[in-house]
């Protein structure tokens, strides 16, 4: 299976300069080729393009080869794809023939290293041919396997590499633990029915606080002033860093869950309903639960893991795990304490209920109601009838 892993690069100024030149060379070459093959009487073919690039362009623009030997090949491949699409659409009588267009600077700037020998990933560094030094990566490659291709792209002034990995890593060995219930917490990012708590990232928390400060600071600056522009840039940069940190945290958790457990039961967070409770809403949007659920679902598919989503009326936090009694537990109360003698951390109690929910849902001999009743009753929606 081929998996693309996109990682931000942290080039030095000199390295960024090299990357910019590589993107520029590819764009320049593409535009030169397009210009040449748009002339009347000149017909596009990959062979003709190759010939033209070797005998004319590389001679005229020797700086192409300073960055990577691949830029002309990249440009030819891309233009070939563009022309093929164009000819196909013309043949099909499509109204929008869409002749290939010239590439603009800073719009989808990128270049690809399509041969494994042209680059190498080692820990948190990336080697690219023609570059004397290794470029630092923000994260490690998340998959073990053979790297096939690296595409370097630029977005809003930052560089990313998307590495294509041929990997068996999506299911190196089947998850060996049977099941888990996951309660997405407020204090912790998640609490598992095994008793394990996954703490919220402290650096992320710190940055979120800092973001608030910077946003306040920004709002105090006069409109149109230089200081405002500066403050705005600071906010944007921190936003981006927080986004990356959040992604990293969520990937780590979704990887761990789908690699360890055969059945994962999570709650269906009704995020729009939760936004009514501002405190909870803040926590929900901070942790990115929607994204976490998406990651767990697609990774579960790779790894042959079953995900059960408990419907949103399932009172996972309010049900005593020992006796099944439902309590009216305010959000501030962190301990489930039942008349039956069961006393437990609220989130762990919820995680255990979710795990049970998943196991019950998968029992083949039980019939269950498809939909929770629409009267808004908060009773358990999963009515089990033996």
Catalytically active residues are 183, 267, 347
Nearer to Zn ion, 26 or 321 (CB): 321
For residues 46 and 82, the answer to whether their CB atoms sit within 8 Å is no
Nearer to Zn ion, 204 or 320 (CB): 320
174 is a contact residue toward Zn ion (CB under 5 A): no
240 is a contact residue toward Zn ion (CB under 5 A): no
Contacting residue, 338, 344, 359, 382, with Zn ion by CB under 5 A:
338
Applying CB under 5 A, the span of 180-188, 281-289, 313-321, 353-361 interacting with Zn ion comes to 313-321
Nearer to Zn ion, 1 or 340 (CB): 340
Closest distance of CB 194 from Zn ion, Å = 21
What is the total residue count of the chain?
Answer: 386
Closest distance of CB 310 from Zn ion, Å = 19
DSSP summary character for residue 307: E
Sheet holding 261-267, edge to edge: 197-199, 188-192, 177-184, 261-267, 306-310
In a 3-state reduction of DSSP, which class is residue 80? helix
Applying CB under 5 A, the span of 128-136, 137-145, 156-164, 318-326 interacting with Zn ion comes to 318-326
Instruction: Show the binding pattern over residues 271-310: x = contacts Zn ion (CB under 5 A), - = does not.
Output: ----------------------------------------
- Which residues contact residue 5 at a Cβ distance below 8 angstroms, ignoring those fewer than 6 apart? 141, 142, 143, 162, 163, 165
Dist. CA 192–CA 183, nearest whole Å: 6
* Total residues in contact with Zn ion, by rule CB under 5 A: 7
Contacting residue, 120, 136, 248, 322, with Zn ion by CB under 5 A:
322
127 is a contact residue toward Zn ion (CB under 5 A): no
Closest distance of CB 315 from Zn ion, Å = 13
Nearer to Zn ion, 108 or 333 (CB): 333
Closest distance of CB 318 from Zn ion, Å = 11
Dist. CA 222–CA 153, nearest whole Å: 35
Nearer to Zn ion, 45 or 325 (CB): 325
Closest distance of CB 329 from Zn ion, Å = 12
Nearer to Zn ion, 343 or 362 (CB): 343
Residues 38-97 touching Zn ion, rule: CB under 5 A, are: none
Dist. CA 96–CA 274, nearest whole Å: 45
319 strand-pairing partners: 326
Applying CB under 5 A, the span of 44-52, 114-122, 309-317, 324-332 interacting with Zn ion comes to 324-332
In a 3-state reduction of DSSP, which class is residue 330? coil
What are the CB-based long-range contacts (under 8 Å, 24+) for 205-214? 207/238, 207/241, 207/242, 207/245, 208/242, 208/286, 210/238, 211/235, 211/238, 211/239, 211/242, 214/238
342 is a contact residue toward Zn ion (CB under 5 A): yes
DSSP summary character for residue 362: H
For the record, the structure tokens of 242 come out as 């927080």
In 3D space, the residue among 21, 2, 15, 17 whose CA is nearest the CA of residue 111 turns out to be 21
Nearer to Zn ion, 266 or 320 (CB): 320
DSSP summary character for residue 375: T
Closest distance of CB 344 from Zn ion, Å = 10
323 is a contact residue toward Zn ion (CB under 5 A): yes
320 is a contact residue toward Zn ion (CB under 5 A): yes
Closest distance of CB 324 from Zn ion, Å = 7
Closest distance of CB 336 from Zn ion, Å = 8
Query: What are the start-end ranges of the H helices in 224-309?
Result: 226-260, 271-274, 278-287, 289-303
Nearer to Zn ion, 40 or 341 (CB): 341
Contacting residue, 4, 340, 343, 366, with Zn ion by CB under 5 A:
340
For residues 342 and 322, the answer to whether their CB atoms sit within 8 Å is yes
Query: What are the start-end ranges of the H helices in the chain?
Result: 13-37, 46-52, 58-60, 64-67, 71-91, 202-220, 226-260, 271-274, 278-287, 289-303, 346-362
228 is a contact residue toward Zn ion (CB under 5 A): no
- Which residues contact residue 198 at a Cβ distance below 8 angstroms, ignoring those fewer than 6 apart? 188, 189, 190, 191, 192, 253
Q: Which residues bind Zn ion (CB under 5 A)?
A: 320, 322-323, 325, 338, 340, 342
């Amino acid at each position: 299976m081929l998996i693309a892993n996109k990682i931000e690069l942290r080039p030095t100024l000199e390295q960024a300069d090299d990357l910019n030149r590589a993107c520029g060379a590819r764009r320049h070459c593409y535009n030169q080729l397009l210009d040449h093959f748009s002339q009347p009487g000149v017909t596009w073919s990959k062979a003709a393009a190759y010939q033209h690039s070797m005998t004319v362009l590389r001679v005229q623009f020797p700086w192409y080869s300073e960055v990577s030997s691949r830029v002309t090949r990249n440009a030819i491949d891309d233009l070939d794809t563009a022309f093929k699409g164009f000819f196909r659409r013309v043949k099909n009588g499509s109204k929008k023939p869409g002749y290939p267009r010239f590439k603009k600077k800073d719009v989808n700037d990128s270049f690809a290293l399509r041969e494994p020998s042209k680059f190498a990933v080692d820990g948190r560094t990336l080697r690219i041919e023609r570059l004397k030094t290794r470029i630092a990566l923000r994260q490690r490659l998340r998959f073990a396997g053979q790297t096939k291709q690296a595409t370097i792209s630029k977005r809003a002034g930052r560089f990313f590499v998307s590495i294509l990995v041929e990997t068996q890593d999506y299911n190196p060995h089947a998850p060996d633990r049977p099941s888990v219930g996951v309660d997405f917490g407020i204090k912790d990012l998640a609490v598992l029915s095994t008793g394990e708590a996954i703490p919220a990232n402290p650096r992320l928390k710190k940055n979120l606080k800092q973001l608030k400060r910077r946003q306040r600071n920004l709002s105090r600056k006069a409109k149109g002033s230089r200081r405002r522009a500066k403050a705005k840039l600071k906010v944007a940069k921190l936003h981006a860093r927080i986004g990356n940190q959040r992604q990293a945290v969520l990937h780590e958790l979704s990887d761990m869950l789908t690699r360890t457990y055969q059945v994962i039961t999570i709650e269906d967070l009704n995020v729009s309903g939760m936004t009514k409770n501002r405190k909870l809403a803040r926590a929900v949007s901070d942790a990115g639960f929607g994204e976490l659920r998406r990651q767990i679902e697609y990774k579960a598919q790779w790894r042959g893991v079953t995900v059960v989503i408990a419907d949103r009326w399932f009172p996972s936090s309010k049900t005593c795990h020992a006796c099944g009694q439902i309590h009216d537990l305010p959000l501030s109360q962190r301990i489930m304490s039942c008349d039956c003698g069961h006393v437990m951390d609220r989130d762990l109690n919820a995680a255990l209920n979710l795990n049970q929910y998943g196991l019950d849902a998968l029992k083949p001999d039980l019939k269950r109601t498809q939909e929770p009743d629409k009267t808004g009753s908060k009773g358990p929606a999963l009515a089990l009838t033996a």
